[in-house]
Structure 1
Amino acid sequence: MRTNLELEEARELILSRVHRAASEEVALTAAYGRVLARDLYSPLAHPPFDRSPLDGYAYRAEALSAGPLRLKVVSEIPAGSWPERTILAGEAAKIFTGAPLPPGANCVVRMEDTVSEGGDVVVKRPVLPGANVVPEGDELKRGDFLLGQGTRLSPAAVGLLAAFGLDRVPVRRKPRVGVFSSGSELTEAGEPLAPGKIYNSNSFTLLGLLLAAGCEVVQKPLVPDRQAETLQALRDLEDVDMVVTTGGASVGDYDLLPRSLEAYGCEILFWKVRLKPGTPACVGEKDGRLYFSLSGNPAAALVTFELLVRPALRLCAGLADPLGRKFAVRMAGGFAKGGRQRRFLRAKAVMRESTVWADPEGAQGSGILKSMVGRQLLVDIPGGHGPVEEGEILEAYWMGEWED
């Protein structure tokens, strides 16, 4: 069993064992948040015809006129209709936003720059040929690249597919993830709290993280610190892509997860990562299924979820960038503790003069879940760094999914 890995080495090992979810085709209405399984190309030009971007009059401009033009209005073209005739010199068609440009016309003048007089229109400010015309294929031409494999389908992306008439889309199946928390000290919310017990929060945190990441979640009841029940919980989750557990990952007599994973037949990829909080994380693999055993300390579990589990989920889901984004931040506050071990501070993202500042205000203990509430950043403090100074520039990860 490999122990005390650097974060980058641990993630590389994890990602080498991840299997991408199979692809499926879903209705466009079910595609929000899903990940494209292959590249898509435009089946038609957009817009599919020359169109007007405003309400006005379409006519044939020869050259810029110095004075007003009087034109005979010979037709009217609402959006959704098709021009009935060609526009000749000296004629105009009343046209509305989104309507196709009639044959013969090469410009549109704004309605505000005209005066209607009987069956004629007087153009007070003539325009040049091509003015106020959106040409066919202005956004994309038929066969142009539309969206790439590995793209998470945002509302705008789904709208784009709809604009090209696509009603079904090839996506990756949602990762199916099994979850349970272990610990004989745990009690479910809503139940009486006996002496020596604490309420289970990790199951709720993990459930929310996984649902927000676009996963299908299979959640098991609390598991006591007994190997028989732990092994049964693992056997009950053999129809998932990954399993994530919290608690029982450390070195105590009742920390059974690493031993239970071995007894269950997992290959233990590693145990312990050189970071704080979350050192005792253990990851195993069996039958192409990854098992993540995370600390029972709530903040530590969430930090290692972001750093170890989320990249695996992103790769399984088919996203193009499994590791997410890391970028420079300036510290809006200090952190007095130094240390030999690499540390990740939870911090709030604050914008100041177009710069991202990281505010680590508040306690940073591994069991303090409140340190994660309202926080968007994990600030990477290298091992041996010493105290963090206000104004110092460091690197940070954005927690959760970064929407492109």
Structure 2
Amino acid sequence: MKIMIELEEAKELVLERIHPVETEYVSIIDAYHRVLAQDVTSQIAMPPFARSPLDGYAYLATASDSQPLQLKIVSEIPAGTWSEREIFSGEAAKIFTGAPIPPGANCVVRKEDTESALDKVTILRPVLPGSNVVPQGEEIKEGDILLRRGFYLTPPAVGLLAAVGCDHVNVYRRPRVGLLSTGTELMDVGQPLQPAKIYNSNSYTLRGMLQVAGYEVTVIPIVSDQIDDTLEALRRVAATDIVISTGGASVGDYDIMRHALTQFGCEMLFWKINLKPGTPASVGQKGKQLLFSLSGNPAAAMVTFELLVRPALRKLAGHSAVEAEKFLVKMASGFRKPGKQRRFLRAQGVLKDGEIWADLAPAQGSGILRSMIGSHLLVDVPANHGAVEPGELLRAEWIANWEN
């Protein structure tokens, strides 16, 4: 087992052991927030015919049409109907938004630019050939690849599938995640707080983060600092793909999580990552299952989840983009506390004059859950950097919700 390694090595050790889960063929009704397991090709063009984008009159225009132009109305085409009546010179079809352009017509003039009486229409402002016509296949051509494997299916993406008549897709199944909160000091909410106890928050924050990402979650809310209890809890989530535990990760007499993982039959990949917050994280592997032991401090658990666990889950779920993009931010506020270790600071992202500014949360302690509320960024401060000054440029990544 490696001890005190860099974040990049920790991610490499984890990601090289992960392969996407199995696939399944589902209705698009069940495809929201799933990840495509194969490219999707359109079987039709979009739109499937040349159509009108507005209410008006379709006719055969020339560049030399007189103004005003009087035409005979020979047909009417509501949306959803098809007219085989060809439009010749001197004729027009009354047409409505979304209706197909009739044969012979090459333009549509807005109703507002016309005057009509009985079967005649006067075009006050004639248009050029091709005006106000949405051509067949303007958005999508038959045979185009709509969405590629690894794409996260948002509601607009599912709507696009429906628009081309695709009713089923091949997706990766939802990863199954077991979630444990360990610590004899923990109590669940809904009961009076006892002396020397604290309420368990990690189960709620991490559960929410997992559910928002589309994973199936099995929660063991509170596990005592006893090896036997911990082993029993691990057995209860043995069927999951990944296990995340919080608490019992450090060096104290009651920090037993990595010892429990060893007794559970795990090969321990590492213990401790050279960063703050979240140094005492460890990862074990048993068969195909990976087990992450994170700090019990709420902010540290969330930061380590973002940096280490989320990339692992994204690869497991079949995402095309596994790791968050890094980018430069300008510091709107400073951080005076120097440190030997690499540090990730929580900050609100503010767009100003075309640049992203990082406004740090007022308190950056590993146990301060409130620092995560309203924070969009993790700002990467290198080891031995010294104080962070306002206006300084540092690298950062988004917190959560960076789906395709």
TM-score (normalised: structure 1): 0.98
1:103 matched to 2:77? The reply is no
- 1:194 Cα deviation from its structure 2 partner: 1.9
Q: Distance in 2 between matches of 1:182 and 1:115?
A: 77
Q: Please give the secondary structure, in 2, of the residue aligned with 1:300.
A: helix
What amino acid is aligned across from residue 45 of structure 1 in structure 2? A
1:196 matched to 2:196? The reply is yes
Kindly report structure 1 stretches of 4+ aligned residues shifted beyond 3 Å: none
1:94 matched to 2:94? The reply is yes
1:282 matched to 2:282? The reply is yes
Residue 300 of structure 1 aligns with which residue?
Answer: 300
Q: Please give the secondary structure, in 1, of the residue aligned with 2:300.
A: helix
Q: Please give the secondary structure, in 2, of the residue aligned with 1:229.
A: helix
Q: Distance in 2 between matches of 1:196 and 1:15?
A: 39
Q: Distance in 2 between matches of 1:361 and 1:227?
A: 37
1:1-41 per-residue CA deviation (whole Å, 9 max, x = no partner) reads 10111111100111111121111122212211111111011
Residue 147 of structure 1 aligns with which residue?
Answer: 147
1:386-397 superposed matches below 5 A: 386-397=386-397
Residue 311 of structure 1 aligns with which residue?
Answer: 311
Contact 1:334 1:388 in 2 (8 A): yes
- 1:63 Cα deviation from its structure 2 partner: 2.5
Contact 1:48 1:137 in 2 (8 A): yes
Q: Please give the secondary structure, in 2, of the residue aligned with 1:220.
A: strand
Residue 220 of structure 1 aligns with which residue?
Answer: 220
- 1:192 Cα deviation from its structure 2 partner: 2.3
1:135-166 per-residue CA deviation (whole Å, 9 max, x = no partner) reads 11111111011101111111111111111011
Residue 160 of structure 1 aligns with which residue?
Answer: 160
What amino acid is aligned across from residue 130 of structure 1 in structure 2? G
1:233 matched to 2:233? The reply is yes
Q: Please give the secondary structure, in 2, of the residue aligned with 1:356.
A: strand
For the aligned residues, what is the CA RMSD? 1.0
Q: Distance in 2 between matches of 1:193 and 1:86?
A: 81
What amino acid is aligned across from residue 36 of structure 1 in structure 2? L
Count of aligned pairs between the two proteins: 404
| Consecutive unaligned residues in structure 2, runs of 5 or more | none
Contact 1:64 1:126 in 2 (8 A): no
What amino acid is aligned across from residue 372 of structure 1 in structure 2? M
Contact 1:59 1:105 in 2 (8 A): yes
What amino acid is aligned across from residue 323 of structure 1 in structure 2? E
- 1:320 Cα deviation from its structure 2 partner: 0.6
- 1:123 Cα deviation from its structure 2 partner: 1.0
1:336 matched to 2:336? The reply is yes
Counting aligned pairs with the same residue, the percent is 60
- 1:325 Cα deviation from its structure 2 partner: 2.1
Contact 1:281 1:293 in 2 (8 A): yes
Contact 1:79 1:98 in 2 (8 A): yes
What amino acid is aligned across from residue 140 of structure 1 in structure 2? I
What amino acid is aligned across from residue 201 of structure 2 in structure 1? S
What amino acid is aligned across from residue 162 of structure 2 in structure 1? A
What amino acid is aligned across from residue 5 of structure 2 in structure 1? L
What amino acid is aligned across from residue 40 of structure 1 in structure 2? V
Contact 2:188 2:221 in 1 (8 A): no
| Consecutive unaligned residues in structure 1, runs of 5 or more | none
1:277-301 per-residue CA deviation (whole Å, 9 max, x = no partner) reads 0000000111110000000111111
Q: Please give the secondary structure, in 1, of the residue aligned with 2:357.
A: strand
Q: Distance in 1 between matches of 2:16 and 2:177?
A: 18
Q: Please give the secondary structure, in 2, of the residue aligned with 1:222.
A: strand
Q: Please give the secondary structure, in 1, of the residue aligned with 2:313.
A: helix
1:105-144 superposed matches below 5 A: 105-144=105-144
1:195-221 per-residue CA deviation (whole Å, 9 max, x = no partner) reads 111111111111111111111000113
Residue 256 of structure 1 aligns with which residue?
Answer: 256
- 1:403 Cα deviation from its structure 2 partner: 4.3
